[in-house]
Structure formats: C-alpha cells, structure tokens
C-alpha cells in the first residue's frame, strides 16, 4: 500500500479517488477545448501538441502539487519543454492527453493518464476517457475498477465496478495501436498464431484487457513512460502482467534515458487449465 511518508495528504483508495477526480476534470477541459477548436502545433520531435494537451496538463499538475506536494511529477509536455523533475523514489507520471493524433482525428480514442511509481514500479494508475467519461482505476494489491461518469466528477466509490482480466481463450484478442503499429510488432503478433485483433488508440488498450475484453497488447517500438505507466498499474491491479519484451521487469523513472521504454508486452490472465 501507499505509505504517505509526509509526501502526500491522502493514501491508498482515497488518493486513487482524488486522482480519478483530477483526471475527470482534465478530461472535461479537453472536451471543452475540442468543442471550441484545437489547432495542432508540432513539437521538436515532430509529434503534435494542442491547447487541450496543455490545458489538461495544467489541471493535473496543479492538482498533484496540492494533493502530494512532496512527490514530483514528470508530465509529457513539461518534459518536452525541459522541465525534468528531480530523481526521487516516488514519482507521478502524467500523460495529459494520450492519443493526441486520435484527438485530432476525432475518433474519441484518447485518454488522460496518471500513475504513481514507487521504487521504479507503478503502484497506482488512472486512465480516463474524456469521450464517454469512463474512468479505470487500479491500486496494486487492492484491485481495479471502472467508474462511470457522474455529474460532479468521478462516481462515488460505492458505485465503482470491480474489473478483472479474463483467462486467455484459445484464440486471444490482441489490442494494437491504431496509429503507431510498427513492423516488428506486426511480426510478433503473426508469430502468436490465430488471434483476433482490436485496433484502438491510447492507453484504452490497457483498459480493455483489465476488464476482460482483450488478452494481449504488444508494442515493440519505443514509447515514453507516461504513455504506459498508468495502464501498467491498472493491468497489474486487475490480475495481468506487463514486462519488457524479453520478459524482464519494466522499471520507470529513468529520466537519464528520456523516460524512454523500448517496447513492452502486456497480458491478461493466463489460460485456465
């Protein structure tokens, strides 16, 4: 469980609920920007950024600073601007708008991701879908839930629906990126044998595995830690696994490597006997 150690005002499920509410607030701001129109600009790495990314990030970072003033945060747009947090055992990883290309395409497959990493391992994750309003929440060792939208933000804890990974069927469903599918990943999926493929944007791929609608998510190309840390925690909390491509543990907080992750494999529950 999360020991506050003076760094955070809340612990465990109370912190999870507070971060869920924060993600909902950011998601509503994203949708307000989308409705008003959000032209894209290119960052130095050629990826797009919009006012929705920046507005969401401002809400999340301000909220984290209030809730957990002793825990630094690494957030996508801030790091791109050269704002790298000091190295600490505890770190928030934030993608304020995961799936900017999906946002610009208007397909609704984007998310707000907030994760807490302790000792290099994700222990808490929130994935919020601004379109539809659903929020997936995971606390490693305690469980995983799906929360429907409510008028005032995140639904109360009593209304959270527990979710679990399903045992892998004979023909598994593989969740694949809609816009970032690379040849190496395609070859790895083909090597699995018969599968059903589900193309989906952003960290929502972790959510469909966590709630038992898919079984695998492979990405052998490079991603950033904030892209997957929240989904990693969610999936572990729901009974799944996330590893490096070779099966070794996937560790986070590597600022010296630009928070890069050189591929991963995410799985639901193993096949039943």
- State the CB neighbour count (10 A cutoff) for residue 177: 20
DSSP structural state of residue 16:
H
Q: Is the pLDDT of residue 265 over 80?
A: yes
4 pLDDT tier (thresholds 50, 70, 90): low
Q: Is the pLDDT of residue 1 over 80?
A: no
Mean pLDDT of the chain: 94
SS3 146: strand
Q: How far is CA 228 from CA 50, 76, 109, 157, 206, in A?
A: 20, 12, 15, 24, 8
| CA of residue 94 relative to chain centroid, distance | 8
- Give the whole-angstrom CA distance, residue 108 versus residue 81: 27
Mean pLDDT (whole number) for 31-60: 88
Q: Specify the pLDDT at position 10.
A: 92
Asked whether the beta carbons of 91 and 67 are under 8 A apart, the reply is no
Mean pLDDT (whole number) for 42-58: 87
Q: Specify the pLDDT at position 215.
A: 98
Annotate 39-53 with b (16+ C-beta within 10 A) or e (fewer). Answer: ebeeeeeeebbbbbb
Radius of gyration for the chain, computed over Cα atoms and rounded to the nearest angstrom: 17
Strands 143-147 and 241-243: unpaired
pLDDT tens-place string over residues 159-188: 999 999 999 999 999 999 888 778 888 899
Q: What is the pTM of this model?
A: 0.96
Mean pLDDT (whole number) for 198-211: 97
- Residue entry with tokens 């000792």: 119
pLDDT tens-place string over residues 112-136: 999 999 999 999 999 999 999 999 9
Q: Is the pLDDT of residue 39 over 80?
A: no
Q: Is the pLDDT of residue 97 over 60?
A: yes
């Amino acid at each position: 469980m999360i020991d506050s150690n003076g760094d955070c005002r809340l612990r465990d499920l109370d912190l999870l609920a507070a971060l869920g509410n924060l993600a909902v607030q950011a998601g509503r701001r994203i949708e307000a920007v989308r409705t008003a129109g959000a032209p894209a600009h290119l960052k130095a790495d050629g990826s797009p950024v919009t006012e929705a990314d920046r507005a969401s990030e401002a809400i999340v970072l301000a909220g984290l600073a209030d809730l957990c003033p002793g825990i630094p945060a690494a957030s996508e747009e801030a790091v791109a601007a050269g704002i790298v947090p000091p190295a600490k055992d505890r770190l928030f990883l934030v993608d304020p708008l995961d799936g900017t290309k999906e946002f610009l395409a208007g397909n609704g497959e984007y998310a707000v991701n907030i994760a807490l990493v302790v000792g290099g391992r994700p222990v808490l994750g929130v994935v919020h879908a601004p379109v539809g309003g659903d929020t997936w929440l995971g606390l490693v060792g305690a469980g995983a839930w799906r929360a429907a939208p409510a008028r005032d933000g995140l639904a109360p804890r009593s209304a959270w629906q527990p979710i679990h990974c399903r045992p892998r069927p004979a023909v598994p469903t593989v969740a694949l990126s809609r816009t970032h599918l690379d040849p190496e990943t395609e070859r790895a999926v083909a090597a699995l044998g018969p599968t059903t493929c589900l193309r989906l944007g952003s960290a929502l791929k972790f959510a469909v595995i966590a709630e038992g609608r898919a079984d695998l998510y492979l990405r052998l190309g490079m991603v950033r830690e904030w892209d997957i840390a929240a989904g990693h925690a969610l999936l572990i909390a729901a009974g799944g696994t996330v590893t490096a491509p070779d099966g070794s543990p996937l560790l986070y907080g590597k600022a010296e490597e630009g928070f890069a992750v050189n591929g991963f494999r995410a799985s639901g529950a193993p096949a039943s006997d």
